[in-house]
Structure 1
């Protein structure tokens, strides 16, 4: 069976427009979350991580002078273009494309309730046509596990021999629809989010686009490349929005990943967790990781840097995890202060040098979905 590697990667966010710039700011504990006061988005100021429109426009002009693309399309095209350019891979029939998103061009419905741009298949077609992919894109929209599930699915395509390379691109934007939706759940924080903290009071939303190449070829990999050792995805069917109180879905997805990787908890150097800073999610994760006997493993959430980027979160956080392994550095879980969970967790409070070889990435989302994947540093 072929092995699958995560290779070239890119991040488009409020922290920067390439992975290295973004990771350097995370290493220096710089957050992209700021107070936003845009009446067109929300009726009162709120904290969020929003990409400046003017910067996005200027960067996209370097790629194309066509102004007919939506905000999200520009973000996705920029992220994908960086990885296609870096990898120098010919887009033939052995190359796949996966798009991970939860809402896509949902903002197009604000002015036109019948806009075809809102269809996710239409969004994936924009990417296919722009770059000239020879295969039909696959759209994954499974709540907030979509980004990590895209990586998992690409791995399975590689193992099955369906493709030699798969580009996984993901993104979501902040829109009036998204903000009003989470506000109706009373899930939005009044300040920058504080994952796992005693005084956390909800999520901070963010927008990002990210892309990674999943490949069967071990040669010519970048320094931050990792191998996917194991993965698993389980649904606990608990509630349309609330996670399982016992962490059952997350536990089973991690167990599946550990079994495939043939590892024990002693082999995991650190965990990049979901960590939304809502009362129920963080508590569920603490219960699950204690059931898995992983409470001692250094753990962080990247939501304090990007906010919750929905369908792109698992993808962008995996990319940062790749760089974390390459730099042998555990990045701080920004916003954390005093633990506020019923079970102990080893939260990374300060960015710290540490020998790293293997990390576990987990994501959880609405509808009871949970995904886990284990990555190992590739020695050159």
Structure 2
């Protein structure tokens, strides 16, 4: 590949899969959303929290947790279930030296710290690098796996990372999987921030009181092969950092707006070309306020927008991928899903929140994400 050609190399979406409490395939999940379902409900699990809490969790007797080698952790089995579902729809060369595996997660096997005594073996087992190698070996990937763990933009950043590596010509195909499971460690952390809602969360709503957590996994497979030229592409992406506060988002929204504008430039698009937005929309007071301000700064305040946190909860390292997959289906099926919990504007700069399933003729959409440490991500998909 000649110098300067890398950004001209198209990156196509081959296929995808979602495994969540709403379904084991992308199709099952989309149908559940069309039916108005949410998997967020009151949970009674003393191993995770002393008091009931609202979250989206798998049933403990879910079959797929028992279908793979017992030496694998619950987190790894969840990842593998999603990868298996995606691979069943394609015939890519897993073992080829041009095929990459990327694992996106914020917590991985952190729950092992709650049940096992400290040791060098435990420290290694908790490492996301260990999980990535185990999963890669199970499927027969031969290239070194890549781990992306950057708070709640991990899923979006993993897609951007794959896009960039494919553009360089180093890889032709990428399998990107994002997953997280909920444990006492995770719940107690968000409780310490007083960030959890006692009801189904309400993104961008005046009465929002916090987020819900969720478990899930999503996989997207990307390729530069021109035989997929009719498929939706990853057109561009960018990241930024607020450098503002370890847990509090920017007060101006300029940094997320900057990531959005750089993503638009990378994609060769402008704000007028975005047909809808899959927002981060955590339903926390400060994140929703910042995100709405950023979208306004980027000239996108009137573009139809949804948040899926009221359906899935916040699935952390899986969120950017799960929510992108649902948006890909929205483009393919011409139907934009509503934002569960939204009733009345609750942000200073109002955005166009979708409140009912809406027929759309969309070509291009934007997926945003923000997270602890001030990280922001924006990725653009389109035909």
By the TM > 0.5 criterion, same fold?
A: yes
What is the TM-score normalised by the length of structure 2? Answer: 0.95
1:10 equivalent in alignment to 2:10: no
1:93 alignment partner in structure 2: 97
Conserved in 1, the CA contact under 8 Å of 2:49 and 2:187?
yes
1:264 equivalent in alignment to 2:282: no
Pairwise CA distance, 1:375:
0.8
1:111 equivalent in alignment to 2:118: no
Q: For 1:160 and 1:260, how far apart are their aligned partners in 2?
A: 14
SS in 2 for 1:139: strand
2:52 alignment partner in structure 1: 45
Conserved in 1, the CA contact under 8 Å of 2:106 and 2:316?
yes
Q: For 2:359 and 2:199, how far apart are their aligned partners in 1?
A: 29
User: Structure 1 runs of 4+ off > 4 angstroms?
Assistant: none
1:72 equivalent in alignment to 2:75: yes
1:84 alignment partner in structure 2: 87
2:185 alignment partner in structure 1: 177
1:252 equivalent in alignment to 2:255: no
Pairwise CA distance, 1:326:
0.5
SS in 1 for 2:30: helix
| Equivalent residue for 2:314, pick from 286, 308, 314 | 308
Pairwise CA distance, 1:176:
0.2
Q: For 2:365 and 2:219, how far apart are their aligned partners in 1?
A: 19
Q: For 2:249 and 2:65, how far apart are their aligned partners in 1?
A: 38
Q: For 2:27 and 2:198, how far apart are their aligned partners in 1?
A: 30
What is the TM-score normalised by the length of structure 1? Answer: 0.95
Aligned residues: 371
Q: For 1:29 and 1:217, how far apart are their aligned partners in 2?
A: 36
1:124 alignment partner in structure 2: 132
1:136 alignment partner in structure 2: 144
Pairwise CA distance, 1:260:
1.6
Q: For 2:218 and 2:79, how far apart are their aligned partners in 1?
A: 7
After TM superposition, the structure 1 stretch with the greater mean CA deviation from structure 2, 226-235 or 177-186, is: 226-235
1:370 equivalent in alignment to 2:376: yes
- The correspondence of residues 267-278 of structure 1 with structure 2, limited to 5 A, is 267-278=273-284
After TM superposition, the structure 1 stretch with the greater mean CA deviation from structure 2, 82-91 or 142-151, is: 82-91
Pairwise CA distance, 1:61:
4.9
SS in 1 for 2:320: helix
SS in 2 for 1:231: strand
Q: For 1:296 and 1:220, how far apart are their aligned partners in 2?
A: 32
After TM superposition, the structure 1 stretch with the greater mean CA deviation from structure 2, 2-11 or 152-161, is: 2-11
Pairwise CA distance, 1:220:
5.0
Pairwise CA distance, 1:68:
2.1
Q: For 1:52 and 1:319, how far apart are their aligned partners in 2?
A: 23
Q: Which structure 1 residue ranges, 5 or more long, are not aligned?
A: none
SS in 2 for 1:339: coil
| Equivalent residue for 1:59, pick from 55, 64, 73 | 64
RMSD: 1.3
Pairwise CA distance, 1:366:
0.6
Q: For 2:292 and 2:307, how far apart are their aligned partners in 1?
A: 13
Q: For 2:24 and 2:34, how far apart are their aligned partners in 1?
A: 16
Q: Which structure 2 residue ranges, 5 or more long, are not aligned?
A: 1-7
Q: For 1:284 and 1:277, how far apart are their aligned partners in 2?
A: 11
SS in 1 for 2:234: strand
Q: For 1:171 and 1:198, how far apart are their aligned partners in 2?
A: 30
